[in-house]
Amino acid sequence: MEGIIADLHIHSRYSRATSKNINIENLVKYARIKGLGMLGTGDFTHPLWLSELKNKLKDNNEGICYYDDFPFILTTELSLIYTEGKGRRIHLVLLAPSIEVVEQINSWLLKKGRLDYDGRPIFNMSCTEFTEGIIKIDSNIEIIPAHAWTPWFGIFGSMSGFNSLKEAFHEYTGKIHAIETGMSSSPDMNWRLSELNEKAIISFSDAHSFWPFRLGREATIFNGNVNNLKYSEIIKQIRENSILGTIETDPAYGKYHFDGHRLCNFSSSPQESKKLNNICPVCHKPLIIGVENRVEELADNPKGFKPKNAKPFFKILPLHELIASIRASDITSKKVWDEYNRVINSLGSELDILLNTEKEKLSRVADERLVSMIMLNREGKIKVKPGYDGVYGEALLQEKQAKLF
């Protein structure tokens, strides 16, 4: 598919639990290795990161900032935690059209709290108050509910306090044009909610490092050319739901797909959880309800429903994950990196290898097991042990696939 593969939800080294080596240079280097054509800056609310962005990026006067010839859109994520009848909590991604607008956003937020302690700051402010304030600054700022189904801070999460967009945004619901799937859900799961049928279903990585098994693991494909980009055109595609499609991980790979308790080493499907009355059999406390269960709870469209304007999506696991699974090694190990680099240096970007490279060409570089895994991956036929309560899902070894396919 032609277009620009973009990851617009990432973080800087100033956010919690992030790589301290994140800088513009590393982001661009590994975005190209991954096969991405555009990134979000992340964390524009943080004063030190914003200073770095101003120094290193050049604005094209169309809302796109370039490092050399690589494009960025100014983005950030923030957290709202407040009481409105009951406790509410949500993470939102913002896209902004210029440094000037970013500075206006930050000036307004400074009246509500601090920005210097974390790249993803927290505010005691409702979704309606936030949205009203943001659109007064500039109507071209885009507000996107982040990782929409994760339990604590996704708008549909089991612990977030919301059951719908309208419950969160009230009279400003029409200003929300898209939601981010998050790793634990895929577009077809989101199609189960009728209130999302006219919204864009987009995907980004929420990466906390620049490594290619994190950066771009989920992405959105936009129309356009990297050398002639306009912020207004990207926003138009989001608002009109005219994106080309998305790249997703298998939702089971996400950290919150199934129900469970990490500390109890216990997970369960929604069907099993129902039999247990959502109580952990190990500690006898309520389970953390995952995304698959939550979708079933809120869905008002049947399984298999597809909106008329639904976009295609490609469900793949990162190349590091495939190599690690057949080598029975950690994704960060030297032998996995050595093989990854050898394949990339011979064949090109990771996403091109995973989605497009012909089997015959793969076979000249990779061994039979890896070629087989890449092809199964491309066809969506890799079995994944579902993640739960903050634990990533696990791709099963190739030998275990034989009985399934």
CA distances from 378 to 47, 319, 347 (A): 41, 11, 16
Q: Are residues 231 and 377 in the same domain?
A: no
Is the pLDDT at 404 greater than 90? The verdict is no
pLDDT computed for residue 405 by the predictor? 33
Is the distance from CB of 314 to CB of 248 less than 8 angstroms? Answer: yes
136-182 pLDDT, tens digit each: 999 999 999 999 999 999 999 999 999 999 999 999 999 999 999 99
399 pLDDT higher than 60: no
* pLDDT value of residue 401: 47
- Does residue 96 lie within any of the structural domains? yes
Average confidence (pLDDT) over 267-279:
97
Q: How close are the terminal C-alpha atoms of the chain, in Å?
A: 27
- 3-class secondary-structure state, position 206: coil
Query: Tens of pLDDT along 191-239?
Result: 999 999 999 999 999 999 999 999 999 999 999 988 889 999 999 999 9
Closest C-alpha among 158, 203, 231, 194 to residue 315: 203
Q: Residues 318, 217: contact at Cβ < 8 Å?
A: yes
In terms of residue numbers, what domain contains 161? 4-253
Give the Cα separation of 98 and 89 in Å (integer): 28
- Which of 253, 274, 303 terminates a domain? The answer is 253
Residue 403 included in any domain: no
Query: Is the pLDDT at 396 greater than 90, yes or no?
Result: no
pLDDT score for 402: 44
Given its phi and psi angles, is residue 28 left (phi above 0), alpha (psi -120 to 50 degrees) or beta?
Answer: alpha
Q: What whole-number percentage of the chain has pLDDT above 90?
A: 96
Residue 402 in any domain: the answer is no
**Dihedral of CA 87/43/231/61: which sign?**
positive
Contact between residue 266 and residue 243 where contact means Cβ atoms under 8 Å apart = no
What pLDDT digit, counting tens, does each position of 18-46 carry? Answer: 999 999 999 999 999 999 999 999 999 99
Domain count, the chain: 2
Query: How far is Cα 33 from Cα 345, in angstroms, rounded to an integer?
Result: 9
> Does residue 116 sit in the same domain as residue 246?
yes
Q: What is the mean pLDDT of the chain?
A: 96
| DSSP at 391 | B
Q: Which long-range contacts (CB under 8 A, 24 or more apart) does 363-370 make?
A: 369/326, 369/398, 370/322, 370/323, 370/326, 370/339, 370/343
Helices first, then strands: H and E counts in the chain? 15, 17
Shared domain check, 342 and 237: no
> Do 248 and 322 fall into the same domain?
no
User: Are 202 and 332 found together in one domain?
Assistant: no
Three-class secondary structure of residue 104 per DSSP: helix
- Contact assessment for residue 246 and residue 351, using Cβ atoms and an 8 Å cutoff: no
Among the candidates 223, 253, 283, a domain finishes at: 253
Same domain for 327 and 246: no
Q: Would residue 172 count as lying in a domain?
A: yes
Decide which of 204, 236, 253 is a domain's last residue.
Answer: 253
Residue pair 147/291 in contact by the 8 Å Cβ criterion: no
Token readout for 187 is 């577009």
Q: Are residues 130 and 229 in the same domain?
A: yes
Q: State yes or no: pLDDT of 400 exceeds 60.
A: no
Distance between CA 305 and CA 193 in Å, rounded? 10
> Does residue 311 belong to any structural domain of this protein?
no
Q: Strands 38-40, 70-83: parallel, antiparallel or unpaired by DSSP?
A: parallel
Domain membership of residue 83 (yes or no) is: yes
Which two tokens mark 279?
């109580």
Backbone angles phi, psi at 49, to 5 degrees: -70, -40
Please tell me whether residues 137 and 232 are part of one structural domain: yes
Which residue type is seen at 212? P
CA-to-CA distance for 115 and 303, rounded, in angstroms? 42
Enclosing H/E stretch for 37: none
Beta 394-395 vs 87-96: how paired, if at all? unpaired
CA angle 233, 239, 244 (to 5 degrees): 70
In a domain, 90, yes or no: yes
Predicted confidence at residue 403, as pLDDT, reads 42
* Residue 374: count of CB within 10 angstroms of its CB: 24
pLDDT digits (tens, 9 = 90+) for 49-108: 999 999 999 999 999 999 999 999 999 999 999 999 999 999 999 999 999 999 999 999
**300 inside domain:** no
* pLDDT per position as a tens digit, 318-353: 999 999 999 999 999 999 999 999 999 999 999 999
From residue 227, how far is each of 230, 255, 321 by CA, in Å?
Answer: 10, 36, 32
Please tell me the predicted confidence (pLDDT) of residue 371: 97
Residue among 260, 297, 290 at smallest CA distance from 182: 290
Query: Which CATH number characterizes residue 33's domain?
Result: 3.20.20.140
**Residue positions counted in the chain:** 405
Nearest to 249, CA basis, from 150, 348, 93, 380: 380
Determine the 3-state secondary structure of 366 from DSSP.
coil
**Per-residue pLDDT reduced to its tens digit, 235-265:** 999 999 999 999 999 999 999 999 999 999 9
Please check whether residues 94 and 184 belong to one and the same domain: yes
